[in-house]
Amino acid sequence: MPLLPSGARIWLSMSSILDPTTRFLPCKSDRFWFRDLDPTSGWLPGDAGRPPECLRTASVPTNRIEAASHVRVLIAGAGEEEGRWRGDWLLTLDRPDDFTVADWEASLEFFGSNRAMEFIDRAIDRCRRQSDVNETLDLVGFEPTFEPNPQTATRLARAAGAIRELSSRRAESEVGHDEKMVRLIDERVEAMYEFADRMLDRYSPHRALAHRLLASTATELGDVDDAVHHLRACLALLPQDRKFAVDLLARLQRAQHAQHAGPIRLGPRLRSSCEQTDEI
């Protein structure tokens, strides 16, 4: 728990990785369970409130870089008693807005220290031990959530509303030249795209909703061809959803005029907060 020059403090936490001593859900060999930000949510790092969570599986990390994507950075501002998670993960951490240059330099020194490296090695061991306890069944695509209505159709519908809000926030951020916010929104949209693609493969009754979300997220990411493909598939299954088609085509035209078209970019996932355990 280093004390920074401004009086702020930072921690590293592996609490997103479920406790290996607690038998939870079966999992495919060489995979483990972790707490992730629910990809159907429009919550962004820095937003108020506790981020909505789901449980997912990932491959057991084989090196420190892979493990760093599952290690959270907790921060307590000067005068704050407890550290809190702001949506920051060790692998993708940017300099927080309220950190001075001296704070950031001290943080980077800590992240590269032997103490931090040993902590990451323990995180790898935690993933491996949990995997060894639970490896009995392949449940790829299964995402239990902590929401009161975790059904797939509900989550897809909720994501359809969240993508509209994110689109508006992205437009405002572009006008304000807030590149950091644009990047965070793009990462959230990418997570939604990845979620919808998994649901398309696994849950045939909800294929229309999955195609609808894929069309929306592909539009935001600038992949016009992919958006049109999923829009056609959605209309084939939901021909009554013409208003969505008209609105989406208008957005696609604006995207082309803005020369925002490009390939899908599936970047690092954002993950959620949970209790403070196993921290340094």
CATH label, 152-257, candidates 1.25.40, 1.20.1630, 3.30.2310, 3.15.10: 1.25.40
47 HSE (CA, 13 A, CB side): 18
136: pLDDT confidence band, cut at 50, 70 and 90? low
Q: Mean pLDDT of all residues in the chain? A: 83
60: pLDDT confidence band, cut at 50, 70 and 90? very high
* pLDDT of residue 261 exceeding 70: no
* pLDDT of residue 178 exceeding 90: yes
What is the residue-wise DSSP string for the chain?
-PBPTTS-EEEEE-TTBPPTTS----B-TTEEEEEEE-TT----TT-SSPPPEEEEEEEPP-SHHHHHTT-EEEEE-TT-SS-EEEEEEGGGPPPPTT--HHHHHHHHHHHTSHHHHHHHHHHHHHHHHHHHHHBT---TT---BSSS---HHHHHHHHHHHHHHHHHHHHHHHHTT-HHHHHHHHHHHHHHHHHHHHHHHH-GGGHHHHHHHHHHHHHHTT-HHHHHHHHHHHHHH-TT-HHHHHHHHHHHHHHHHTT--------PPP-------SB-
* pLDDT of residue 38 exceeding 60: yes
16-25, 119-128, 251-260: least confident range: 251-260
Per-residue pLDDT averaged across 188-217, rounded?
A: 85
109: pLDDT confidence band, cut at 50, 70 and 90? very high
For CA atoms 28, 29, 30, 33, give the dihedral sign. positive
276: pLDDT confidence band, cut at 50, 70 and 90? very low
* pLDDT of residue 269 exceeding 60: no
Instruction: Identify the pLDDT of residue 106.
Output: 95
Instruction: Identify the pLDDT of residue 267.
Output: 43
Instruction: Identify the pLDDT of residue 239.
Output: 85
* pLDDT of residue 184 exceeding 70: yes
Task: Give the pLDDT confidence of 84-103 residue by residue, as tens digits.
Answer: 888 888 998 989 888 999 99
**What is the CA angle 68-32-205, rounded to 5?**
115
Instruction: Identify the pLDDT of residue 266.
Output: 45
- Out of 40-49, 164-173, 201-210, the most confident range is 164-173
Instruction: Identify the pLDDT of residue 275.
Output: 33
213 HSE (CA, 13 A, CB side): 33
Instruction: Identify the pLDDT of residue 201.
Output: 64
Per-residue pLDDT averaged across 51-74, rounded?
A: 91
145: pLDDT confidence band, cut at 50, 70 and 90? confident
Task: Give the pLDDT confidence of 1-22 residue by residue, as tens digits.
Answer: 689 999 999 999 999 999 887 7
Q: Where are the domains of the chain?
A: 9-134, 152-257
pTM of the entire predicted model: 0.73
The packing angle between helices 207-220 and 152-175, to 10°, is 10
